[in-house]
Amino acid sequence: MSPRTEFRTCPLCEAICGLEITATDTEVIRVRGDRADVFSKGFICPKGSAVAALHTDPDRLRAPMVRHRNGGGWREVSWPEAFATVEERMMPVLERHGREALATYVGNPNAHNISLLYYGRQLGRSLATRNGYSAGTVDQITKQVSTALMFGTTLSIPIPDLDRTDYLILMGANPAASNGSLLTAPDVLGRLDAIVQRGGKVVVVDPRRTRTAERASEHHFIRPATDAHLLMAMAHVLFAEDLVDLGHLADHTNGVEEVRRIAAAWPPGRVAGICGIDAADIQRLARELAAAPTAAVYARIGTCTQEFGTLAGWLVDVLNVLTGNLDRPGGALFPRAVCGQPNSKGNPDMPRTIEWGRWRTRVRGAPEVMGQLPAACLAEEIDTPGDGRIRALVTIAGNPALAIPDSERLQAALPTLDCMISVDNYINETTQHADVILPGESHLCQPHFSATLYQLAVRHVAKWSDPVFPPDPDRPREWEIMLVLSSVFAGRGTEVDTGAADDAIVSARIAKEVADEWSPVYGRDPDELFEAMVPAVGPERVVDWQIRTGPYGDAFGANPDGWTLARLKQHPHGVDLGPLESRVPEVLRTLSGQIELAPDYVVADVARLEDSLERDWTGMVLVGRRNLRTNNSWMHNVGNLIAGREQCSLLVHPDDAQRFGVVDGGQVRVASAGGEVVAIAEVSDEMMPGTVSLPHGWGHDQPGTRLSVAATRPGVNSNILADPAAIEPLTGNAMVNGIPVTLTPA
């Protein structure tokens, strides 16, 4: 058969690029950027074309695997046998030890996969445990807490309006490698160049002169974990020089006077030495931010996963508000996504505040935040004897054995569990310890819809992707795996009619919505709505439902010009629903209905920032980075992505190299309170003196994995260095940036 061309969204990162895939019935012939994609316009990165290699990777699991008890290797089994084994091995453990002995760990791809995203909730309910862990506490929970308290929901994250802004301050993010995060915008670098080309300015603040920094108008080194200090001093300048102007937010903002009072104590001269940025520069940055016709401050992982993560995330939005840039075109705006966004739905007077401290971890008493326990606590919860010790674990698309602090201890603890079940595509450092691995499907055999990421995008866009190859009829879809597991964990066994279970979930949802007077389908006949979505099932039906009841939807006929999934499918390159627009006050879901500029929970943490001024900040510290050609821990098994020069190197400034006797290309021993590793040194003045950088997600030298390509370039696991005790107090987020270390030649 002659080749055909399919258009899809790349499922691998937050940039959601359009892919043009030429394929026969069975094989991919070529992958390139889809020039007609309304959002990415042909841009892709080297990972995008790797969807083909992932599809054919012989190490990728096609069938469920059961591990022999007593150390005897793996057996490929049928799906019924796999589910039966889950029940057989898991249920007695839960009967003996109760649900407090069960933990879950949910990894990053859950945000990129609609089967996991929508049906994970169902599974979560039947797991019925308070021990919820995820990659979120090594990532963005700090930002979610500050935005929830300021604006009312955990994804009400203001997005810098890259395409219209005149002035951008970008902190702790390197889109040249990451392609953007909590900022969905294909070709971020091209968009940054365009800011400069139209006469604007881009300022990067980062302890490393990244490729993003090289493209910017200006770069400032900053000592790791001092972003909150810098931002506080900038707020000080705004008040001191009478540059505060909230614009249209003036009538919608509480707490400005409190922020004024707090910032009064933070003149630039007080923080300059700690940050490593001149007081005059801090003053100038604040003035420029205020003077620019439009401007935005944006900050990401380097500011989230550090000692003052929540304060930094909060202060970013404080500056955007104080300069009148929040919620205005060219500033930082709240997207109105095509679907799924809690701040676009329901009664705005029914606020959704977040909660914390309802329960605590057993060993060190760390509080739950938004239902999450700190990932840095997982290892100790498994290996510390006593009542309530975790005896069973379910991991869904995650690799905590490399991704989270205390990972060496975790790797030792996982084999001691009484039962572990993983839904994952590889036998990797984590899943090698599972009793049963239930593989997801190849990305090319699944539909795709970027439901979460549309809520973080610089334009209102939407696109549906059909599978490139028909899914294997002899295996369950990934959402069906979740439904069978739900049944098992609810004590109802492995025999599930997944179609009927799915219908029941959708019917319950419809029933709830038609009874909600704020819903566009309030008062409608539930059967009519159900029938209107036939024959779609699974995540496809959920997407149709969400689009139709969402802000652009057809409301099942009530809004005849509105969108449905069927209509979206007629646009294989996606649709552009327009630029971001002002949404305050309609978007706000706080108790007061106002922006809360000085939430108590966050403001109370300023005392800790004060205390830090007394500290000695001169020691060596480690930060992380991302490699353009890989994705966290899990794309290292694609040969051409890991070929070429060593990606897992320790970047060291020449002065530090000389001081510690480290040579370029030589081995260096890096030690911290968490542990030590030996890495290859790369001497470069792109680092701020006193800081070193090592990427995470490496360390594929564990016996027992099935990652034959990754094992040839294993790299070292940077999370051995992350001190598990170092968690941010407001959120439990791990401090994986700014780790005190010592260097010695090895």
Ligand X SMILES: Nc1nc2c(c(=O)[nH]1)N[C@H]1C(S)=C(S)[C@@H](COP(=O)(O)OP(=O)(O)OC[C@H]3O[C@@H](n4cnc5c(=O)[nH]c(N)nc54)[C@H](O)[C@@H]3O)O[C@H]1N2
Answer yes or no whether residue 13 interacts with ligand SF4 by CB under 6 A: yes
Please name the residue that has the structure tokens 């480690």.
Answer: 622
Answer yes or no whether residue 262 interacts with ligand X by CB under 6 A: no
**Measured from the CB of residue 697, what is the shortest distance to Mo ion in angstroms?**
10
Identified binder of ligand SF4 from the candidate list 17, 204, 312, 318, rule CB under 6 A: 17
Stretch that binds ligand SF4, among 8-16, 451-459, 487-495, 554-562 (CB under 6 A): 8-16
Spatial contact of 613 and 732, defined as CB atoms under 8 Å apart: no
Identified binder of ligand SF4 from the candidate list 48, 124, 276, 550, rule CB under 6 A: 48
Residue 84 DSSP label: H
Answer yes or no whether residue 675 interacts with ligand X by CB under 6 A: no
Footprint (CB under 6 A) of ligand X, residues 417-446: 423-426, 428, 440
17 contact, one of ligand X, ligand SF4, Mo ion, none, CB 5-8 Å limit per kind: ligand SF4
Q: Residue 10 or 568: which CB sits closer to ligand SF4?
A: 10
What Å distances lie between residue 358 and 130, 151, 370, 373, 469, CA to CA?
A: 10, 22, 9, 11, 46
12 contact, one of ligand X, ligand SF4, Mo ion, none, CB 5-8 Å limit per kind: ligand SF4
Q: How far apart are CA 21 and CA 729, in angstroms?
A: 46
Q: Residue 361 or 633: which CB sits closer to ligand X?
A: 633
32 is written with which tokens? 């390139």
Answer yes or no whether residue 54 interacts with ligand SF4 by CB under 6 A: no
Which helix or strand (DSSP H or E) is residue 26 part of? none
Identified binder of ligand X from the candidate list 8, 10, 13, 322, rule CB under 6 A: 13
Other beta carbons within 10 angstroms of residue 217's beta carbon come to 14
Contacts of 160 (CB under 8 A, 6+ apart): 168, 183, 296, 297, 298, 331, 332, 458
Answer yes or no whether residue 718 interacts with ligand X by CB under 6 A: yes
Answer yes or no whether residue 462 interacts with ligand SF4 by CB under 6 A: no
Q: How many residues does the chain have?
A: 746
Q: Dihedral through CA 438, CA 442, CA 447, CA 450, nearest 10?
A: 90
Q: Residues in the site for Mo ion, rule: CB under 5 A? A: 139
Q: Dihedral through CA 566, CA 569, CA 570, CA 572, nearest 10?
A: 180
Identified binder of ligand SF4 from the candidate list 6, 7, 8, 16, rule CB under 6 A: 16
Contacts of 101 (CB under 8 A, 6+ apart): 93, 94, 388, 389, 390, 391, 392
Stretch that binds ligand SF4, among 7-15, 198-206, 261-269, 589-597 (CB under 6 A): 7-15
Answer yes or no whether residue 549 interacts with ligand X by CB under 6 A: no
**Measured from the CB of residue 168, what is the shortest distance to ligand X in angstroms?**
14
Identified binder of ligand X from the candidate list 171, 662, 730, 743, rule CB under 6 A: 171
Answer yes or no whether residue 12 interacts with ligand SF4 by CB under 6 A: yes
38 CB-contact burial (10 Å; exposed 0-12 / middle 13-18 / buried 19+): middle
Number of H helices, E strands in the chain: 25, 29
Q: How far apart are CA 107 and CA 54, in angstroms?
A: 18
Q: Residue 211 or 284: which CB sits closer to ligand SF4?
A: 211
Q: Quick one: how far is CA 696 from the chain centroid?
A: 15
Q: Residue 237 or 402: which CB sits closer to ligand X?
A: 402
Answer yes or no whether residue 188 interacts with ligand SF4 by CB under 6 A: no
Answer yes or no whether residue 53 interacts with ligand SF4 by CB under 6 A: no
Please name the residue that has the structure tokens 């935040």.
Answer: 369
Q: Residue 139 or 656: which CB sits closer to Mo ion?
A: 139
416 is written with which tokens? 């001691």
395 is written with which tokens? 């991991």
Answer yes or no whether residue 135 interacts with ligand X by CB under 6 A: yes
Binding mask 588-627 for ligand X (x = CB under 6 A): -----------------------------------xxxxx
Q: How far apart are CA 539 and CA 439, in angstroms?
A: 18
User: Please, what's the b/e burial string for 564-599 (b: 16 or more CB within 10 A of its CB; e: otherwise)?
Assistant: bbeebeeebbbbebeebebbbbebbbbeeebbbbbb
Answer yes or no whether residue 179 interacts with ligand SF4 by CB under 6 A: yes
Q: How far apart are CA 558 and CA 510, in angstroms?
A: 16
Q: Residue 227 or 540: which CB sits closer to ligand X?
A: 227
**Measured from the CB of residue 4, what is the shortest distance to ligand SF4 in angstroms?**
21
**Segments of 546-632 assigned E as strands:** 575-579, 595-596, 621-623
198 is written with which tokens? 């139209």
633 contact, one of Mo ion, ligand SF4, ligand X, none, CB 5-8 Å limit per kind: ligand X
Answer yes or no whether residue 313 interacts with ligand X by CB under 6 A: no
494 contact, one of Mo ion, ligand SF4, ligand X, none, CB 5-8 Å limit per kind: none
Residue 332 DSSP label: E
Residues lying near ligand X in the complex (CB under 6 A): 13, 107-109, 113, 135, 138-139, 171-175, 177-179, 181, 205-208, 210, 222, 224-225, 227, 300-303, 305-306, 397-400, 403, 423-426, 428, 440, 623-628, 630-634, 693, 696-697, 718-719, 722, 736-738
Residues lying near ligand SF4 in the complex (CB under 6 A): 10, 12-13, 15-17, 44-45, 47-48, 179, 186
